[in-house]
Structure 1
Amino acid sequence: MRDADDMSAGPRAAPPLRVLLTSYRSNPHVGGQGVYVRELSRALTRQGCEVSVASGPPYPELDPGIELIELPSLDLFSETNALLALRWRHLASRADRGEWLAHNSGAFGEMTAFARRLRAFLEREGDRFDVVHDNQTLAMPMVGLSRRIPLLTTLHHPIDIDRDFAIAGAGSWWKRLLVARWHDFVKTQAAAARRLPGFICVSEASRQAYAARCGVDPARIAVSHNGIDHAAFYPDPAVARDPGLMVAMASADVPIKGLDVLIEAMAKIAPARPDLRLVVVGTLREGPTKRMLDQTGLTGRVEFRSGLAQSEIAALFRRAAVFVSASRFEGFGFPPAEAMACGAPIIVSTGGALPEVAGDAGIVVPVENADALAAAIESVLDFPDRAERMSRDGAAWARTAFVWDDHARASLSLYHELIATHPRTQAAS
Structure 2
Amino acid sequence: MGPTRHVVYDARYLTAKPTGIGQVCREILRGLVRLPDAPPLTILARPDTPVPEEAAAAPGIQVVEAPWAPQGAANQRRLPGLLRKLGARLYHGPDVFNPVAARGAALVVTVHDLIPITCAHLLTRSRKSRFLPLWKTWLRLQVSRAAAIVAVSRFTAKDLTRILGVPARKIRVVHNPVREWGTVEAPAPFRRRMGLTGRVIATAGRQDPYKNAAGLVRAMPSILRRCPDATLVVAGPPDPRYPEASREADRLGLQERVRFTGWLPDGDLGALYRASDVFVFPSLYEGFGMPPLEAMRFGTPVVASDRTSLPEVLGDAAILIDPEDPEALAGAVVRVLTDRALAAHLREAGPRRAARYSAVEAARAYRAIYRDLLDSPTERSGP
TM-score by length of 2: 0.84
Q: CA deviation at 1:164?
A: 0.6
Partner of 2:343 in structure 1? 387
Q: Could you tell me whether the CA contact under 8 Å between 1:247 and 1:322 is conserved in 2?
A: yes
SS at match of 2:375: helix
TM-score by length of 1: 0.76
Which amino acid is the alignment partner of residue 32 of structure 2? L
Partner of 2:194 in structure 1? none
Q: Could you tell me whether the CA contact under 8 Å between 2:93 and 2:107 is conserved in 1?
A: yes
The question of 1:62 aligning with 2:64 is answered no
Equivalenced residue count is 364
Q: Could you tell me whether the CA contact under 8 Å between 1:71 and 1:117 is conserved in 2?
A: no
Partner of 2:232 in structure 1? 278
Q: Could you tell me whether the CA contact under 8 Å between 2:71 and 2:97 is conserved in 1?
A: no
- Structure 1 residues 32 and 394 mapped into 2: Cα distance closer, same or farther (>3 Å)? same
Structure 2 residue aligned with 1:72, among 56, 67, 71?
67
Q: CA deviation at 1:423?
A: 4.2
Q: CA deviation at 1:26?
A: 2.9
- Structure 1 residues 268 and 238 mapped into 2: Cα distance closer, same or farther (>3 Å)? closer
The question of 1:209 aligning with 2:159 is answered yes
Partner of 1:102 in structure 2? none
Structure 1 residue aligned with 2:363, among 401, 408, 420?
408
Alpha-carbon deviations, 1:130-149, whole Å to 9, x = none?
4221112354x34743xx22
| Alpha-carbon RMSD | 3.1
Aligned equivalents of 2:301 and 2:75: distance in 1? Answer: 40
Q: Could you tell me whether the CA contact under 8 Å between 2:11 and 2:26 is conserved in 1?
A: no
Which amino acid is the alignment partner of residue 418 of structure 1? L
SS at match of 1:340: helix
Structure 1 residue aligned with 2:223, among 246, 249, 269?
269
Q: Could you tell me whether the CA contact under 8 Å between 1:342 and 1:395 is conserved in 2?
A: yes
Which amino acid is the alignment partner of residue 306 of structure 1? G
Partner of 1:99 in structure 2? none
Alpha-carbon deviations, 1:308-361, whole Å to 9, x = none?
222221111111110011111111122111100100000110232222222111
Q: Could you tell me whether the CA contact under 8 Å between 1:143 and 1:196 is conserved in 2?
A: no
Moved more, 32-41 or 236-245: 236-245
The question of 1:290 aligning with 2:246 is answered yes
Aligned equivalents of 1:183 and 1:72: distance in 2? Answer: 30
Q: CA deviation at 1:150?
A: 2.6
Partner of 1:81 in structure 2? none
Aligned equivalents of 2:126 and 2:378: distance in 1? Answer: 44
Alpha-carbon deviations, 1:74-126, whole Å to 9, x = none?
x7xxxxxxxxxxxxxxxxxxxxxxxxxxxxxxxxx93554243211211222x
Could you say which structure has the greater relative contact order, defined with CA pairs below 8 angstroms and 6 or more residues apart?
Answer: 2
Gaps of 5+ in 1: 1-14, 76-108
Partner of 1:187 in structure 2? 137
Partner of 2:82 in structure 1? 121
- 1:173-252 to structure 2, matched below 5 A, reads 179-181=129-131, 184-232=134-182, 244-251=199-206
Aligned equivalents of 2:138 and 2:220: distance in 1? Answer: 40
Q: CA deviation at 1:36?
A: 1.7
SS at match of 1:329: coil
Partner of 1:331 in structure 2? 287
Aligned equivalents of 2:329 and 2:268: distance in 1? Answer: 26
Q: Could you tell me whether the CA contact under 8 Å between 1:348 and 1:365 is conserved in 2?
A: yes
Which amino acid is the alignment partner of residue 271 of structure 1? R
Structure 2 residue aligned with 1:302, among 245, 255, 258?
258
Aligned equivalents of 1:295 and 1:412: distance in 2? Answer: 51
The question of 1:157 aligning with 2:152 is answered no
Partner of 1:90 in structure 2? none
Partner of 1:46 in structure 2? 34
The question of 1:133 aligning with 2:89 is answered no
Q: Could you tell me whether the CA contact under 8 Å between 1:27 and 1:57 is conserved in 2?
A: no
Which amino acid is the alignment partner of residue 176 of structure 2? N
Alpha-carbon deviations, 1:348-389, whole Å to 9, x = none?
102322222221111111232222111111111110110011
Partner of 1:258 in structure 2? 212
Aligned equivalents of 1:285 and 1:386: distance in 2? Answer: 35
- Structure 1 residues 60 and 374 mapped into 2: Cα distance closer, same or farther (>3 Å)? farther
Structure holding more helix per residue: 1
- Structure 1 residues 177 and 344 mapped into 2: Cα distance closer, same or farther (>3 Å)? closer
Q: Could you tell me whether the CA contact under 8 Å between 2:187 and 2:271 is conserved in 1?
A: no
Q: Could you tell me whether the CA contact under 8 Å between 2:322 and 2:328 is conserved in 1?
A: yes
Q: CA deviation at 1:236?
A: 7.9
Q: Could you tell me whether the CA contact under 8 Å between 1:37 and 1:60 is conserved in 2?
A: no
Aligned equivalents of 2:5 and 2:24: distance in 1? Answer: 20
SS at match of 1:110: coil
Aligned equivalents of 1:27 and 1:329: distance in 2? Answer: 25
Q: Could you tell me whether the CA contact under 8 Å between 2:15 and 2:46 is conserved in 1?
A: no
Q: Could you tell me whether the CA contact under 8 Å between 1:332 and 1:357 is conserved in 2?
A: yes
